[in-house]
Amino acid sequence: MNNQDNQESGMNCPRCSFKIKFQIQDLLAKNSINCPGCLLKMDMDIPNEIKSHLQEIQMAQDMVAKARNVNL
């Protein structure tokens, strides 16, 4: 089973329960998101500390993607 499937990352929309998936770039760059299911607009308040972690995760994701293509 894929690890990413296990995690089921994202958030259920408080209005329509649609599972909202997030891109780290969106979390870093945007101040608000819209639920794809019901278009509910939500303003995001992300502390700088978490933003720096998100940047680390983004970097790690890029590195993992590269590592998957390496055959030793």
Partner 1 sequence: MNGLYHTGATELHDIFLAPLKAVIDAEMSLTESIKQFIWETGFTSEGEIKTIQFKYLLDGKKETLSVPALSIVTLPLLGIKNATFDMHVKMMTILEDDKERVSLPPLKKTKLPEMKPKVGLKGFLTPHHGALTESTGLKTNMRVKLEMGETSMPGGIIKILALLNNNLIADKNNENE
Residues that bind partner 1 in the complex, under the rule CB under 8 A: 1, 3-4, 6-12, 14-15, 22, 24, 27, 40-47, 49-50, 53-54, 56-57, 60-61, 63-64, 67
**Taking every pair of C-alpha atoms in the chain, what is the biggest distance, in angstroms?**
48
- CA distance to 13, 53, 62, per residue, from 59 (Å): 27, 10, 5
**Beta carbon nearer to partner 1, 9 or 29:** 9
Question: How far is it, in rounded angstroms, from Cα 44 to Cα 69?
Answer: 35
Task: Write down the least CB distance from residue 38 to partner 1, Å.
Answer: 10
Report, in Å, the least distance between residue 43 CB and partner 1.
5
